[in-house]
Chains A and B, each alone.
Chain A
Amino acid sequence: MGRESTGKGRERVALLLHLPTSAISRINPARMAEVTEQDSDQRRGSVYRVAGALTITRAATTQREIDALSDPLTIDLSEIDRMDTVGAWLVYRAVRDRGAKVIGASRDEVSLLKQVGEFDKPTQVVPDEPHNFIAVLRELGEWVAETGTTLVGLLGFFGATLIGFANVIRRPKRFRVNAVIQRFDVVGVRALGIIGLMSFLIGIVIAQQGSVQLAQFGAEVYTINLIGRITVRELGTLMTAIMVAGRSGSAFAAQLGTMKITEEIDAMRTIGVSPIEALVIPRMIASIIMMPLLSFWAMLMALLGGGIFVWLSLSIPPITYIQRLQEVIPLTDMWVGIIKAPVFGFIIALAGCFQGMLVQGNSEEVGTRTTAAVVQSIFLVIVLDSIFAVFFSSIGWT
């Protein structure tokens, strides 16, 4: 059947030696593929005789059986009715490595044996791994070199975007209004729902946790201070930045990365369209403008969530809540929150677009780069946030 040689009409081609005359053969009546005779007489060697199919299905057993036999080995194929390339390989291997003799093979089987012999070109399965210690050193070196090139690349990319911005400012006609507005929609408008919901819930959580702790001092009313200051000054912007990094920063990296793989970016370049101007700048502008707006929205929603909690749980009516907020939140708090937002937006877009542009080769890279974009932008956002915190408190905006 199929590629296997059939046993019908076989012409016996005794390849090499004949069976030792003293070998007793006992053929299994069920014609299952089994060892029918093993003569372990050291002087005469052993005979391996299989009946039925010599295929990949019983390759492991066949190999074990052959390995167990002593040299010199004779393999008798006269009872075989099917043999595939794996079966042929096992026989070929025994002949190659142990000088086994094959008898009783039909023409087809001989030709199959010759064919697998032709393809006997050993190949490595995995690339060479260097010695452990050297591997560690090499990895460390590669990591350092890669970090260095990434930093230099990021700086270069930053410069390229600045040049792009300058070009667009010099020649405002090249500013792609439609692309920017489309990004506004994707980055900003479509994020309203999820960011609003997230902030609302965070407002509730802060109010709830705060009120439990402050109740120990009988100071539940200060829950309002807590909600007001922490959401406006820190959490509104920070949580928005994390959400935008996860939502849009990753999308930037994936979009640009895919365009890189499908050579769309190369096509753009050859047509004379600068990918920085056409792809990167609209995304940057969208994130820079949308981040403060989304942050403001997040602050409002967090205050709303906290307000509903204190109303229902601490029985502070909304009107009192709003009055208290006005008293306890200095205007500078809002500035602290809003000023940070465009910077975060810029960082997120920069990391996302940069990682996207670094993609090359296969589709797996898109995933890796997208992950890197999100991790990098969130990390940078938090680092910057702490720098901002120190800065604002040192200029007296406490």
Chain B
Amino acid sequence: MIPKKLEPTFAPEGCHPIITVRGLRNAFGEQVIHDNLDLTVCRGEIIGVVGGSGTGKSVLLRSIIGLQTPEQGQIEVLGENMVGRSEDEAKNIRRRWGILFQNGALFSTLTVAENVEVPIREYFPYLKPPLLDEIASYKIAMGGLPPDAGPKYPSELSGGMVKRAGLARALALDPELLFLDEPTAGLDPIAAAAFDELIKGLQKRLDLTVFLITHDLDTLHAICDRVAVLADRHVIAVGTIPELLALDHPWIQEYFNGPRGRTAAQSYEEGVTA
């Protein structure tokens, strides 16, 4: 039995919902990915979404940002209904969020700085090039890249730098909401830890809400305020890691209490007490 407090529809005290998903159903042909999925994300939190491979974490993200039309259900982002919107209507909401795709999804024919300028140009075409370039410069610095990364093409970047460049582009329009799809996947532990720090720092400074899909237990421990567990085609529980651990759910126990989960928890606690 899931306590009421950890139910996916439960909003903690003082929560201003920024993403609300109710009764979501996604299916590809016969294969049902999500059924009756609920989730509430509060303003200002970093929420991590975990689940086994194939449980539809990325599909959930794609549904929320409107790349995938759900079969059923309601999705509200930043107070606007996302289902059945025209492209034009959705544009105003898209302005207010940033997305870092799993493999960066940088435009390969543009330099890093030009990539960062794309969203700005799209929404504010009248900005003059010198100012635009300056904005791109500080966004690149915000993404934690050295200045010499600006004129480089994506093919010249390492995996970690691609993620940082993707983050800089996601931050281009000063979003309120940041979606990250496996931001630390494929990074070495040092780079992954640095990326966690970067996200945490940006979240604090810019007062962001972060929706984070990850497999990285270290990331979950280090930066997530709450964790949503996706299994059996819906979110089974949302809460802090200790709260989730108190549940008697086999997958959650296996996930957080498996050998890797223990190590990550340990290193986190050592880091806190040290």
Question: Is A56's CB within 8 Å of the partner chain B?
Answer: yes
Residues of chain A touching chain B, judged by Cβ–Cβ distance below 8 Å, are 1-4, 55-57, 59-60, 63, 84-86, 89-90, 93, 111, 115-116, 118-128, 361-364
**Which listed residue, A90, A119, A125, touches B150 by the CB 8 Å rule?**
A125
Judging by beta carbons under 8 Å apart, are A122 and B137 in contact? yes
CB-CB under 8 A for A123 and B176, given A85-B206, A364-B108: no
Q: For the complex of A and B, list the 4 residue pairs with the smallest distance between their C-beta atoms, beginning with the closest.
A: A123-B150, A119-B141, A2-B176, A3-B206
Which partner residue on chain B sits nearest A62 by CB separation? Answer: B131
Interface residue B251 (Cβ < 8 Å from any Cβ of A): no
Q: Is the CB of B154 within 8 A of A126?
A: no
How far apart are the CA atoms of A40 and B270 in the complex, in Å? 61
Q: A60-B131, A123-B150 are in contact. List 9 more A-B contacts (CB 8 A).
A: A3-B208, A57-B124, A59-B131, A60-B127, A86-B135, A123-B149, A124-B147, A125-B111, A125-B117
Are B138 and A120 within 8 A (Cβ)? Answer: yes
Are A125 and B207 touching (Cβ within 8 A)?
Answer: no
- Determine if B174 and A362 form an interchain contact, defined as CB atoms under 8 angstroms apart: no
Chain B interfacial residues counted at CB < 8 A = 39
Are B154 and A362 within 8 A (Cβ)? yes
B258 interfacial by beta-carbon distance below 8 Å: no
In the bound complex, what is the Cα–Cα distance between A124 and B113 (angstroms)?
Answer: 7
Asked if B158 is at the interface of the complex by the 8 Å CB criterion, the answer is no
User: Which of the residues A59, A63, A116, A125 comes within 8 Å of B114, measured between beta carbons?
Assistant: A125
Contacts of B207 in A (CB 8 A): 2-4
Give Cα distance in the complex from A269 to B248, angstroms: 48
Alpha-carbon gap, A57 to B152, bound state (A): 28
Q: Are A123 and B136 CB-contacts (below 8 A) given A2-B207, A85-B174, A361-B155? A: yes
Chosen A-B contacts, 29 in total, with CB atoms closer than 8 Å, are A1-B176, A56-B173, A56-B174, A57-B124, A60-B124, A60-B126, A60-B127, A60-B131, A63-B128, A63-B131, A85-B174, A90-B131, A93-B134, A116-B138, A119-B138, A120-B138, A121-B138, A121-B147, A123-B136, A123-B149, A123-B150, A123-B151, A124-B113, A124-B148, A124-B150, A125-B113, A127-B111, A362-B108, A363-B108
A4 to B128, CA, bound (A): 23
Partner of A123, one of B126, B128, B140, B174: B140
Cβ of B114 to closest chain A Cβ, rounded Å:
6
Are B174 and A86 neighbours in the complex by a CB distance under 8 Å? Answer: yes
Nearest CB on A from B201, distance (A): 10
Given A116-B138, A361-B155, is A3 in contact with B174 using a C-beta cutoff of 8 Å?
yes
Q: How far is the CA of A54 from the CA of B131 in the complex (A)?
A: 15
B205 within 8 A of A: yes
A123→B155 contact, CB < 8 A: no
Question: Assuming the A-B contacts A119-B142, A125-B111, A362-B108, are A3 and B124 also in contact, with contact meaning beta carbons closer than 8 angstroms in the complex?
Answer: no
- Among B111, B134, B205, contact of A89 (Cβ-Cβ < 8 Å): B134
Q: Are A362 and B111 in contact (CB under 8 A)?
A: no
Residues of the A chain whose Cβ atoms lie less than 8 Å from the Cβ of B273? none
Chain A residues whose C-beta falls within 8 Å of the C-beta of B53 in the assembled complex: none
Residues from chain B with Cβ under 8 Å of A111 in the complex: 205
Verify A124–B151 contact, CB threshold 8 A.
yes
B174 contacts which of A84, A118, A124 (Cβ < 8 Å)? Answer: A84
- Kindly state the separation between the CA atoms of A283 and B167 in the bound complex, as whole angstroms: 43
Query: Does any Cβ of A come within 8 Å of B35's Cβ?
Result: no
Interface readout for B114-134 with A: 1 if CB under 8 Å, 0 if not? 100100100010111001011
How far apart sit A111 and B138, CA to CA, in the bound complex (Å)? 16
Residues on A with beta carbons closer than 8 Å to the beta carbon of B31: none
Does residue B86 face the partner (Cβ distance < 8 Å to A)?
no
Least CB separation from B205: chain A residue: A115
Specify which of A3, A118, A123 lies most central, judged by the most chain B CB atoms within 10 Å of its CB. A123
Interface centre among B111, B131, B133, B138 (most CB of A within 10 A): B138
Q: Are B108 and A123 in contact (CB under 8 A)?
A: no
Inter-chain contact A89/B135, CB cutoff 8 Å: yes
Q: What residues on A are CB-neighbors of B174 within 8 Å? A: 2-3, 55-56, 84-86
Q: How far is the CA of A4 from the CA of B175 in the complex (A)?
A: 10
Question: B124–A56 contact, CB under 8 A?
Answer: yes
Are the C-beta atoms of A123 and B135 separated by less than 8 Å?
A: no
**Chain A residue, CB-CB nearest to B124:** A56
> Could you say which residues of chain B place their CB within 8 Å of the CB of A120?
137-138, 141
**Structural contact, B206 and A125, CB atoms closer than 8 A:** no
Q: A63 CA to B134 CA in the complex, in Å?
A: 13
* Contact partners of B108 in chain A: CB under 8 A: 362-364
Quick one: closest B residue to A361, CB to CB? Answer: B155
With both chains docked as a complex, state the minimum distance between the C-beta of B51 and any C-beta of chain A, in angstroms.
26
**A93 vs B147: C-alpha distance when bound (angstroms):** 18
Q: Which of B139, B141, B174 has the most CB of A within 10 A?
A: B174
Inter-chain contact A59/B127, CB cutoff 8 Å = yes
Instruction: Report whether B138 and A59 are in contact in the complex, using a CB–CB cutoff of 8 Å.
Output: no
Query: Do B176 and A3 touch (CB < 8 A)?
Result: yes
Q: Could you give, for residues 193-217 of chain B, a 1 whenever the CB lies within 8 Å of some chain A CB and a 0 otherwise?
A: 0000000000001111000000000
Q: Which residues of A contact B136 (CB under 8 A)?
A: 123, 125
Residue of B nearest to A363 (CB): B108
B137 / chain A contacts, CB cutoff of 8 Å: 120-123
